[in-house]
Amino acid sequence: MTDFTPTEMMTIAAARALSNDDVCFVGIGAPSAACNVARLTHAPDITLIYESGTVGTKPDVLPLSIGDGELCDTALFTISVPEMFRYWLQGGRITTGFLGGAQIDRFANLNTTVVGPYDHPKVRLPGGGGAPEIASNCGRIFITMALTKRGFVERLPFVTSMGHGEGGNHRERLGLTTSGPTRVITDLCILEPDPETKELTVVSMHPGVARDQISGNCGWPIKFAETVIETPAPTETELVVLRDINARTKKAHKAAGKEAA
């Protein structure tokens, strides 16, 4: 099995970033797929937490919403939302937060709030949800989103959640002791913040992707690390697991539709 789509590569590369020891706060959509692929491949004991209060959940199909019944049915335990955010997130128990976003800048700040001015938005997006505090309270943050000019922008209209702010030691200056975004996984490459400036830098390119393809899809002049490696292609196991869970998910969401329509 050698054929794979850029989105499959993205999900699998994101899954590989996680380990068995992670206690992971999972965002919906692409992060959720990645976290469950990790659990079903190399990290069977990973703890997945969704902000609806489900802790240690092992969904058989990917949830459409953050609070699907599947998450509660397969969780070790389920708590209230205030407890989730106070004891477990603010309490510093979560090692890794996994976020997506509509827009990101070179310091991995995210916008999911508005495009255009806040009071007269051109596009009103859903808003931050849990992201502002996930971004500051988790030990580290992974972000996964497709690399496009619309998504990777020179300047964010709104900072929904802070990454590395203005770069450098901005997080420290604000009193943060957590690492913030340490990796951004896209459909073309993997980015990591430069150790000093904290500017996102390409460290790994997916198989078959050229540098100008990456530069052409980014809204700022993107930098490449001194040594850029090639992301290992998805293994057959990884692809099978991902495609199976996607197929199960599609079927489940459709079936639920029939009975309820």
Partner 1 sequence: MARIMSLAEGVEENVRDGDTVAMEGFTHLIPYAAGHEVIRQGRKDLFLVRMTPDILYDQLIGVGAARGMKFSWGGNPGVGSLHRFRDAVENQWPRPLEIEEHSHAAMANAYEAGAANLPFAAFRGYIGADLPKVNLNIRSVTCPFTGEVLAAVPAIRPDVTIIHAQRADRNGNVLIEGIVGVQKEAVLAARRSIVTVEEIVDELSPPSPNSVVLPGWAVTAVAHVPGGAFPSYAHGYYPRSNAFYIRWDEIARDRETFTAWIRENVLAAKPEDFARHAAKTAAKVA
Catalytic residues, which ones? 51
Residue 89 sits in the site that holds partner 1 (CB under 8 A): yes
| Member of 93, 170, 223, 248 binding partner 1 (CB under 8 A) | 170
Residue 52 sits in the site that holds partner 1 (CB under 8 A): yes
| Member of 19, 139, 140, 176 binding partner 1 (CB under 8 A) | 176
Other C-beta atoms lying within 10 Å of the C-beta of residue 85: 17
Stretch that binds partner 1, among 57-65, 145-153, 187-195, 210-218 (CB under 8 A): 57-65
Q: List the x/- string, 138-157, binding to partner 1 by CB under 8 A.
A: --------------------
What the block records as the tokens of 73 is 């049915």
Nearer to partner 1, 212 or 258 (CB): 258
Residue 82 sits in the site that holds partner 1 (CB under 8 A): yes
Work out how close the CB of 10 gets to partner 1 at its nearest, in angstroms, rounded to a whole number. 18
Residue 105 sits in the site that holds partner 1 (CB under 8 A): no
For the CA atoms of the chain, what is the radius of gyration?
18
Residue 113 sits in the site that holds partner 1 (CB under 8 A): yes
Other C-beta atoms lying within 10 Å of the C-beta of residue 25: 28
Residue 100 sits in the site that holds partner 1 (CB under 8 A): no
Q: In terms of residues, how long is the chain?
A: 261
Work out how close the CB of 163 gets to partner 1 at its nearest, in angstroms, rounded to a whole number. 8
Query: Are the beta carbons of 237 and 38 closer than 8 angstroms?
Result: no
Long-range contacts (CB closer than 8 Å, 24 or more residues apart) made by 83-89? 83/53, 84/49, 84/51, 84/52, 84/53, 85/51, 85/130, 85/133, 88/49, 88/55, 89/25, 89/130, 89/133, 89/134, 89/137, 89/138
> Nearest CA to 8 among 249, 259, 234, 252?
234
| Member of 11, 36, 47, 78 binding partner 1 (CB under 8 A) | 78
Distance CA 109, CA 229 (A): 25
Q: Is 134 helix (H, G, I), strand (E, B) or coil?
A: helix
| Member of 47, 54, 186, 217 binding partner 1 (CB under 8 A) | 54
Residues in contact with partner 1 by CB under 8 A are 28-29, 51-54, 63-69, 71-72, 78-82, 84-86, 89-90, 109, 113, 118-119, 121-133, 135-137, 158-162, 165, 170-171, 174-176, 253-254, 256-261
